[in-house]
């Protein structure tokens, strides 16, 4: 069996709900969609959603890197490890492009075997809650959006912070008062807090019972974060500090600056490198959160299959497809009362939208 063609489509997709984080505001995303087709008609799907501030890769560079797809023509998709090894060597500085090709190859490989990808990878989880994100916005809009999400069945809220310490504290405390004690509240500073603010943040938000604080400061401050009390560091999550396996090995060095790691396929280059990072986390007792960019259900499904193949997985932040005004694909997962479940379908369980 050989790969007969590889299709590429570049898309501009508006968001139905624009949002802001500490260093970026957005109302639309660019998505590169890949479809790897075997000669028997089976096809694997992948997407790339690079963000230069996070992945270090522009959309134009990502699209140019995807020209490597031609190297797959005539190859046997069942030789997955060989193809992924060649991909990693060919595109070392294009993680989003690698991720798109990696997930498409994984999808096709699993479809050939007629089984969900996660079952072939070694399923460890079946269902977890995903958080849904509230961007930086005024208090009244934060509470209104939270009401909507709670009404839709979500039980974990992630709140973007990092522009104003006092406003952040008020939003989180008032949000806790609004939603009650049962919901999980998580905060993401997106490098908006210098290390001296971190202990003060947890003290000021004690009433809000924030589960964890994601990436408070730029990665250049990780050594300062290592000097914080262990009880604080256990409640910090690495995002911008964690891209690849080299980062994972450095972050695993004691004293560890973060007790939680956020793995994103767009940062690390796809399912295969993500699972290698997950193995490092498991071996070092570090909890995993799986995150995403604004991306198609294809990318969300790929992250979900990888997440459920790791016993270190504790939380999900896979809401990146919810606010796309239109998605190039459909399927991929079921969302049931805020919980994500993979589909009983071959591969990633995704299909192109009409």
pLDDT for 174: 98
Each residue's pLDDT tens digit, 151-201: 999 999 999 999 999 999 999 999 999 999 999 999 999 999 999 999 999
Q: Answer whether residue 289 shows pLDDT above 90.
A: yes
Interval 12-34 mean pLDDT? 84
> In this model, does residue 269 exceed pLDDT 90?
yes
- The pLDDT score that the predictor gives to residue 101 is 98
pLDDT at 121 over 70: yes
Does the structure show a pLDDT above 70 at 72? Answer: yes
Instruction: Give the model's pLDDT for residue 18.
Output: 76
Residue 24 reports pLDDT greater than 70: no
> Can you give the pLDDT at residue 282?
98
Domain with CATH 3.20.20.120 in the chain: 119-352
Q: What is the mean pLDDT of residues 310-334?
A: 97
Class of domain 3-114: alpha beta
Secondary structure (DSSP) of 179-238: H-SSSEEEEE-TT-S-THHHHHHHHHTGGGTEEEEE--S-GGGHHHHTTS-HHHHTTEEE
Q: What is the mean pLDDT of residues 236-251?
A: 98
- Least confident window among 22-26, 222-226, 254-258: 22-26
CB atoms within 10 A of CB 241: 24
Region(s) of the chain under CATH 3.30.390.10: 3-114
Residue 114: predicted pLDDT: 98
Which CATH number is 119-352 given?
Answer: 3.20.20.120
The whole-chain average pLDDT of the chain stands at 96
Of 245, 298, 339, give the one whose Cα is nearest residue 44: 298
H-type helices in the chain, by residue range? 52-55, 59-65, 80-90, 95-113, 117-121, 139-151, 165-179, 196-204, 222-225, 230-233, 245-251, 265-268, 271-283, 297-307
How confident is the model at residue 354, as a pLDDT? 86
Tens digits of per-residue pLDDT, 296-319?
999 999 999 999 999 999 999 999
Structure tokens at 291: 């995150």
Residue 20's pLDDT is: 66
pLDDT at 23: 65
């Amino acid at each position: 069996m050989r790969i007969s063609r590889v299709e590429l489509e570049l898309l501009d997709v508006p968001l139905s709900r624009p949002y802001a984080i500490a260093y970026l505001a957005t109302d639309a995303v660019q998505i590169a969609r890949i479809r790897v087709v075997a000669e028997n008609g089976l096809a694997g799907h992948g997407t790339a959603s690079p963000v230069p501030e996070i992945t270090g890769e522009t959309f134009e560079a990502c699209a140019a890197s995807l020209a490597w797809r031609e190297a797959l023509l005539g190859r046997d998709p069942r030789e997955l490890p060989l193809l992924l090894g060649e991909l990693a060597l060919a595109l070392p500085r294009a993680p989003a492009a690698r991720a798109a090709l990696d997930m498409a190859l994984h999808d096709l490989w699993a479809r050939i075997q007629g089984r969900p990808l996660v079952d072939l990878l070694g399923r460890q989880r079946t269902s977890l809650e995903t958080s849904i994100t509230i961007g930086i916005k005024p208090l009244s809009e934060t509470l209104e959006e939270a009401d909507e999400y709670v009404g839709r069945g979500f039980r974990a809220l992630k709140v973007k912070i990092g522009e104003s310490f006092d406003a952040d504290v008020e939003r989180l405390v008032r949000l806790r008062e609004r939603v009650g004690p049962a919901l999980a509240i998580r905060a993401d500073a997106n490098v908006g807090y210098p290390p001296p603010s971190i202990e003060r943040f947890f003290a000021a938000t004690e009433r809000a019972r924030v589960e964890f604080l994601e990436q408070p400061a730029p990665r250049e401050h990780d050594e300062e974060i290592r000097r914080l009390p262990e009880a604080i560091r256990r409640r910090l999550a690495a995002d911008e500090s964690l891209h690849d396996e080299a980062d994972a090995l450095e972050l695993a060095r004691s004293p560890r600056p973060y007790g939680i790691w956020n793995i994103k396929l767009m940062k690390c280059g796809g399912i295969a490198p993500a699972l290698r990072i997950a193995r490092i986390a498991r071996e070092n007792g570090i909890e995993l959160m799986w995150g995403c960019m604004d991306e198609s259900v294809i990318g969300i499904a790929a992250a979900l299959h990888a997440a459920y193949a790791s016993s270190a997985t504790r939380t999900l932040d896979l809401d990146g497809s919810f606010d796309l005004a239109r998605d190039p694909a459909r399927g991929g997962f079921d969302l049931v009362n805020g919980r994500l479940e993979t589909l009983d379908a071959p591969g990633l369980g995704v299909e192109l939208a009409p």
